[in-house]
Amino acid sequence: MNKQLIATICILGLVGMVVGVIAQGATEDTVTATVTPGVVSVDVTPATFDYGYMTLNTSKTSHEAGQTSGITANVGTVNTDLNIRGANALGDPTGTWTLAGSTGSDIYVHEFGAGADPGSWTALTTSNATLTIGVTPSGSYIFGLRITTPTASTVVDEYSAPVTVVASWGG
* pLDDT tens digits, 91-133: 999 999 999 999 999 999 999 999 999 999 999 999 999 999 9
pTM of the model: 0.81
- Give every CB contact of residue 67 below 8 A, 6+ residues apart in sequence: 46, 49, 116, 144
Paired with 105 in beta bridges are: 152
Mean pLDDT of the 141-148 span: 97
Domains belonging to the chain, first-starting first, are 42-169 (2.60.120)
Is residue 8 pLDDT above 70, yes or no?
no
Strands (E) located in 55-162:
59-61, 71-75, 80-86, 89-92, 96-99, 107-114, 122-123, 129-135, 140-148, 158-160
Q: What is the pLDDT of residue 26?
A: 83
Is residue 17 pLDDT above 60, yes or no?
no
- Give every CB contact of residue 31 below 8 A, 6+ residues apart in sequence: none
80 close to 168: Cβ distance less than 8 angstroms? yes
With cut-offs at 50, 70 and 90, classify the pLDDT of residue 25.
Answer: confident
Say how many Å lie between the first and final Cα of the chain, rounded. Answer: 78
